[in-house]
Structure 1
Amino acid sequence: MLRLFMRGFAELFTVHPRLALFPLAAVATSGFGQTFFISAFGGELRAAFGLSHTAYGALYSGATVLAAWLLFRFGSLADRWELGRAVKLAVLVLAAGCLVIGLAPGPAVLGLGFVLIRFGGQGFIAHLGMTTAARYFAAARGKAVALAAGGIPLAEALLPPAAIFLIARGDWRWPWLAAALVLLLLILPLLRFLSREAPPVATAAQGPGGKVRQFTRTEVLRDRGFYFLLPAVLATPFVATAVLFHQAAIAEERGWALELLAGAFVVFALGHFATLVIAGPLVDRLSAARALPLALLPMAAGQVLLAAFAGSWVPFCYLGLLGISIGLATTAGGTIWADRYGVLHLGAIRSLVHAAIIIATALAPLFAGVILDSRLGVGELALLMAGLGLGGAALAMVAQRFKVQVEP
Structure 2
Amino acid sequence: MIFPAFMRENPRLAVFALLATATSGFGQTFFFSVFGSGIRETFALQNSTYGLIYSVATLASAILLLKLGPLADRWALNRLTALAAAILAAGCLMIALAPHWLFLIPGFLLARLGGQGLMGHIGLSTAGRYFTRNRGRIMALTAGGFPIAEAILPLSAGLILAAGGWRMPWFIATGLLLAVLLPLLLYLSRNAAHPATLSGSAVDQLDEQDESLDFNQSQVLRDPGFYLILPAALIVPFTVTAVLFHQSAFAEIRGWTTAQVGLAFTGFAAGHIVSLFFGGPLVDRIGAQRSLSYGLIPIFCSMLVLGLTEFAWTPNLYLALCGISLGFIGAAGGAIWPERYGIRHIGAIRSVAQASMVFSTALSPILVGVLLDVGVTTTGVGLLFAVLILLSAILAQTAVPPGHRA
TM-score class normalised by the smaller sequence = over 0.9
Partner letter of residue 301 of structure 1?
C
Aligned to 1:139, what secondary structure does the other structure show?
Answer: coil
Report the counterpart of residue 271 of structure 1 in structure 2: 271
Indicate yes or no: 2:93 matched with 1:95: no
Report the counterpart of residue 156 of structure 2 in structure 1: 162
Distance 1:303 1:46 in 2: 29
Indicate yes or no: 2:33 matched with 1:39: yes
Report the counterpart of residue 397 of structure 2 in structure 1: 397
Report the counterpart of residue 3 of structure 1 in structure 2: none
Aligned to 1:328, what secondary structure does the other structure show?
Answer: helix
Cα contact 2:264–2:320 (8 A) shared by 1: yes
Cα contact 1:303–1:385 (8 A) shared by 2: yes
Alpha-carbon deviation of 1:76? 0.5
Matched pairs, number: 400
Cα contact 2:29–2:245 (8 A) shared by 1: no
Distance 1:328 1:192 in 2: 29
Indicate yes or no: 2:110 matched with 1:110: no
Indicate yes or no: 2:135 matched with 1:137: no
Indicate yes or no: 2:146 matched with 1:176: no
Distance 2:316 2:198 in 1: 43
> 1:37-58 CA deviation, whole Å, 9 max, x = no partner?
1121112211222222111111
Distance 2:38 2:94 in 1: 16
Alpha-carbon deviation of 1:406? 8.1
Distance 2:44 2:326 in 1: 35
Distance 1:266 1:383 in 2: 24
Q: Which runs of 5 or more residues in structure 2 are unaligned?
A: none
Partner letter of residue 178 of structure 1?
I
Report the counterpart of residue 18 of structure 1 in structure 2: 12
Distance 1:38 1:227 in 2: 30
Q: 1:76 aligns with which of 67, 70, 81?
A: 70
- More displaced, 367-376 or 200-209? 200-209
Q: Which runs of 5 or more residues in structure 1 are unaligned?
A: 1-6
Report the counterpart of residue 290 of structure 2 in structure 1: 290
Partner letter of residue 152 of structure 2?
L
Indicate yes or no: 2:115 matched with 1:121: yes
Partner letter of residue 155 of structure 2?
P
Partner letter of residue 183 of structure 2?
P
Partner letter of residue 257 of structure 1?
T
- Percent identity, aligned pairs only, is 47
Aligned to 1:336, what secondary structure does the other structure show?
Answer: helix
Alpha-carbon deviation of 1:107? 1.8
Partner letter of residue 132 of structure 1?
T
Alpha-carbon deviation of 1:203? 4.2
Cα contact 2:21–2:143 (8 A) shared by 1: yes
Report the counterpart of residue 280 of structure 1 in structure 2: 280
Using the size of structure 1 for normalisation, the TM-score is 0.94
Aligned to 1:312, what secondary structure does the other structure show?
Answer: coil
Distance 2:35 2:190 in 1: 35
Report the counterpart of residue 253 of structure 1 in structure 2: 253
Distance 2:89 2:316 in 1: 36
Alpha-carbon deviation of 1:260? 2.1
Flag the 1:253–1:110 CA change in 2: closer, same or farther, 3 A. Answer: closer
Report the counterpart of residue 244 of structure 1 in structure 2: 244
Report the counterpart of residue 349 of structure 1 in structure 2: 349
Report the counterpart of residue 387 of structure 1 in structure 2: 387
Flag the 1:165–1:308 CA change in 2: closer, same or farther, 3 A. Answer: closer
Aligned to 1:384, what secondary structure does the other structure show?
Answer: helix
Using the size of structure 2 for normalisation, the TM-score is 0.94
Cα contact 1:304–1:386 (8 A) shared by 2: yes
Report the counterpart of residue 327 of structure 1 in structure 2: 327
Partner letter of residue 131 of structure 1?
S
Cα contact 1:12–1:20 (8 A) shared by 2: no
> 1:175-198 CA deviation, whole Å, 9 max, x = no partner?
212211111111111000111232
Cα contact 2:51–2:365 (8 A) shared by 1: no
Partner letter of residue 90 of structure 1?
A
Report the counterpart of residue 311 of structure 2 in structure 1: 311
Alpha-carbon deviation of 1:253? 2.8
Partner letter of residue 40 of structure 2?
R
- More displaced, 173-182 or 338-347? 173-182
Partner letter of residue 221 of structure 1?
L
Indicate yes or no: 2:68 matched with 1:54: no
Cα contact 1:71–1:355 (8 A) shared by 2: yes
Partner letter of residue 55 of structure 1?
T
Cα contact 1:304–1:383 (8 A) shared by 2: yes
Cα contact 1:222–1:407 (8 A) shared by 2: no
